[in-house]
Structure 1
C-alpha cells in the first residue's frame, strides 16, 4: 500500500491513522473497487428471488415490489443526496453510505419474511444511490492527468460489470455453496468492511463549502436549448433500462418458468449475459463516435430483444441466449453513448441537474415496467408477460432509431 505523510500532520503529532493517506493512484483503484462492490451487492439478491419465493411462497407481484422498493430508495437518494458530497466532502458521504449498506446486509442475513426483505432492499437502495454519485465524482477528482478519459470509462464500465459479477457470483454460491440465503451477504459484509477501511485511508478530494442543506432540495430541469437533444435520448434510455429491469427482476424466474432451467447458476448467468456483455461493449466502443454508438445501441437492443422473443416463443435456449448477448451490447452502448452525449451537451453548471433528470428517467424505466410485469405475470402468466414486455422494448428500440435519425436530420 502506498501512503504519504503530510508535513502538517507530522508536525502536530497526529495519530498515524490520520497521517497516512492512500496515494492518488491507489485511491483511484480503491474507489473503482468500492464501486464494483456496491453494484455487485445491488444485483446479488436477483438470483435469490426464486429461492425466497420457494421458501416463503410469495407471488411474482411481491417479487417485483421487492425489486422496485430498492429503486425507490435509490432514486430518492440520487435526487436528495446527489450533490451533498460537493459541500461536505466525499469521505463523509461514502462512509455513511457504507454504514447504511452494512445495516442492509445485516437485515438480509436476518431476513425470515418478506417484510424484512423489503426493509433491507429499501435501505440498500438509499445506500447505493448515495454512493453512486459520490463514487463517480471521486473518480473524476482522482483521474490521473496522463489519462484524462479514465474516470469516464470506469463510470461507464463498472455499473454493468458489477451487476454481472453480483448476479453470477450469487448464482454460483446458491447452486454450489451452503447457506444460499446467507453466505453471499456475509461475503459482501467483508467487502464493505474493506471499503470502510479504504475510505478511512483515502484523501479527501472535495473542499468543504456552504450550501449543504440547500443541496438536499431536489432540482430537476432541462435547459430549453437542450430539450430537443434530451428528448431524442429518452427512447433509448427507457428501452435499455426497462430491459435491464426485466432481467434483474424476472430474468431468473423466466429461466425457470419459460425455459425450464432450474439451475441457480443459470439464473445468475441470465443477468450476467446482459450486463457483462454491456460492460465489455462499453469498453470496446469507448473511442467510437457517439452518434454511431447510439445507432448501434438502438439497432442491437431492437434486434437482440426480438431474437430473445423468438427464443421465448419457440422455447429455444440458444436463441434466448444469443438475443440476450446482442441486447447486452446494445445495453452497454446505450449507457456509454446516452450519458456521454449529455456530458458533451451540457455546460459544467448544467450537468448535475441534467444527469439527475436522466438518471430519474432511467430508474423509473428500470422499476415501473418491472412492477407492471410482476402484476401481469400473476394474472396472465409469465410466458405471455415476457412476450408483451419484449415487444414493448422492440418498439422502443425502433423509436430510438427514428428519434436519432430525426435529430441528426
Structure 2
C-alpha cells in the first residue's frame, strides 16, 4: 500500500480537487453574462452590423464629389459587398452549427472593426471597395449566426420575441445607419470620422459581450466539410422555405430600391442634393419595417406574412407612381407602406421557419433565408445600375418596381394557398381525433 493511502491523503486530495473544480466552475459562471444581458447584447451587436451596412449609402455621393470617380464605380462598391456576403453565406453559413456561435461571431465582429478602420482612413474609392468587401464577409458570417443565437439566447418564455428581433434587427439597423449617417453628412464637417469611429467602438464592445455570453450549441463533427459551398435546407423546413422564397425576393427587391437607388432617384428625379434627405428616404423604409415587425410580433406568423406581402405590393405601386409623376411626399408614403409590409412579411417568415429546424441546423436554415434575400437585394440593383445609363433612370426604376411588385404578388398568392392547405390539414386532423374514441 502506498504512503498516500496509508496516511489517508487520497480522500483529502480528491476533496481538494473537487473543491478546486467547483471554484473554477464558479469563476467561469461569474465571468458569463446573465441570459438576459447576453440576449440584449447580442441583439444590439446585430443591430450594429446592419447599421454599418446601411451607413455608407449616404456617403457614396460625398465620396464621388470629393474624389471625382465615375458613377459606375459606385455600382462596384455596392456589388462587391453583396458578392462577398453571398459567397460567405454559401461557405460559412452553417459553420457555427459545428464550432459554436461564439467563435464565428467574434471573428465576424473583428472583421467589422477592420473594415470600419479602413473606411475611416480611406484615401480613395479603392479603399472603400476593399472595406465593403471585408464588410460583406463579416456580415455574411454574422447574419445567420446572429439570428440563430438571438433565438437561442432569448429567455425561455420569450422565444418568439427572439425570432421577432432576429427579423427586425436587420432592417432597423439599416434604417439607423442611413438616417444617422445622412444627418452627420448634413450637419457635421467630419461625418466619416464620427460614424466609423463610433462603429469601431460598438463592434469592440460586441466582441466583449459575445466572449462573455454562454455558448448555445455544442460542437459537432463536420466543420471542415460544412465549408464546401452549398445551400441545404433542413428537410422539415423545405416546404415552408419554398413557399416563402417569392416573398423574400419581392420584399428584398423593395429594400434594394430604397437602399441602393434612393440617393440617385432623389438627385436625378427630384433634383435635390441633401445628405439629410438622402438619409431620410433610405432610412424610412427599413425603419417602418422594424417598427411593423416588432409591433406585429404577437400576430400569427402566417397572417403577418400575408398582410405584409399585400402592403409591399401597395407600397411599390405608390412609390413607383411617385417617381413617375415626380411627387416627393407620395414617395415617402410609399416607403412607409412598403417598409411596414417588408417588416411584417420578413419577420413573419422567420417566425414560420424558426421552429422547423433543430438547433444544430438553425444557422444553416437562416443562412439560406439570407442567401435568397441578399441575392434579391443585390443582383437586381446591380443590373439596374448598368441599365440606367442605357434606358434612363425613370424607365429603369419603373421596370424594377414592376418586377418587385409581381414577385411579391406571387409570394402573396403562394402564402394564401399555403394558409388554406394548413387550415384544411388541421380540420382533417381534428375530425380524425373526434371520431377516434367512437371507433
* 1:371 shift after superposition: 0.4
1:175 is aligned to 2:186: yes
1:235 and 2:251 aligned: no
Q: Give the deviation of 1:221 after TM superposition.
A: 3.8
Separation (CA, whole Å) in 1 of partners of 2:102 and 2:362 = 22
Aligned position for 2:320: 309
Question: Considering only CA atoms, is the larger Rg found in Structure 1 or Structure 2?
Answer: 2
1: CA distance between counterparts of 2:202 and 2:21?
29
- CA distance in 2: counterparts of 1:224 and 1:198, whole angstroms: 34
My pick for the range that moved more, 351-360 or 389-398, is: 351-360
Check conservation: 1:237, 1:361, Cα contact below 8 A. yes
Q: Select between 395-404 and 46-55 the one with higher mean Cα deviation.
A: 395-404
Q: Structure 1 pair 190/355, CA: closer, same or farther in 2 (3 Å)?
A: closer
Q: How many angstroms apart in 2 are the aligned matches of 1:406 and 1:248?
A: 31
Aligned to 2:140: 129
Q: 1:223 to 1:30 in 2, by over 3 A?
A: closer
What's the TM-score, normalizing by structure 1?
A: 0.90
Q: Structure 1 residues 104, 348: CA separation in 2 closer, same or farther (over 3 Å shift)?
A: closer
> Secondary structure of the residue that 2:135 maps to in structure 1?
helix
Matched residue SS, 2:32: strand
Residue among 294, 304, 307 paired with 1:283: 294
Q: Look up the match of 2:426.
A: none
Contact 1:63 1:249 in 2 (8 A): no
Find out whether 1:252 has 2:282 as its counterpart: no
CA contact (8 A) 2:144 2:367 kept: no
Separation of aligned partners in 1, 2:269 and 2:181: 21
Give 1:95's aligned residue: 106
Q: Structure 1, residues 365-408: CA drift from partner, whole Å, max 9, x if none?
A: 11010001111122333222222211222222322233334443
Distance 1:291 1:13 in 2: 44
Q: Deviations over 1:125-157 (max 9, x none)?
A: 111121222222322332212323221121112
Deviations 1:48-84 (A, max 9, x none): 1111222233344322221121111112222222222
1:54 aligns with 2:69: no
Change (3 A) 1:18 1:69: farther
- Quickly say closer, same or farther: Cα 1:231–1:199, change in 2 above 3 A: closer
**How far did 1:280 drift?**
0.8
Question: How much does 1:341 deviate?
Answer: 2.7
The answer for the alignment partner of 2:401 in structure 1 is 390
How far apart, CA to CA, are the structure 1 residues paired with 2:171 and 2:75? 20
The Cα offsets for residues 270-328 of structure 1, whole Å up to 9 and x where unpaired, read as 12110000011111221222332222122111111111111111211111110111011
Instruction: Give the gaps of 5 or more residues in structure 1.
Output: 1-6
Distance in 1 separating the partners of 2:162 and 2:385? 37
Mapping for residues 370-409 of structure 1, pairs under 5 Å: 370-407=381-418, 408=420
* Alignment-derived partner of residue 110 in structure 1: 121
Task: Structure 2 unaligned segments of length 5 or more: list them.
Answer: 1-18, 422-439
Contact 1:59–1:378 (CA<8 Å) still a contact in 2? no
User: Quick one: distance in 1 between partners of 2:42 and 2:247?
Assistant: 29
Match of 2:282 in 1: 271
Partner SS state of residue 259, structure 1: coil
Aligned to 2:346: 335
Q: Could you report, residue by residue, the CA deviation over 1:236-269 in whole angstroms, capped at 9, with x for unpaired residues? A: 2111111111211111221222122322111111
**Relative to structure 1, is the Cα distance of residues 78 and 339 closer, same or farther in structure 2, using a 3 angstrom cutoff?**
same
Which is further off, 331-340 or 153-162? 331-340
Q: Distance in 2 between matches of 1:267 and 1:406?
A: 39
**TM-score using structure 2 length:** 0.84
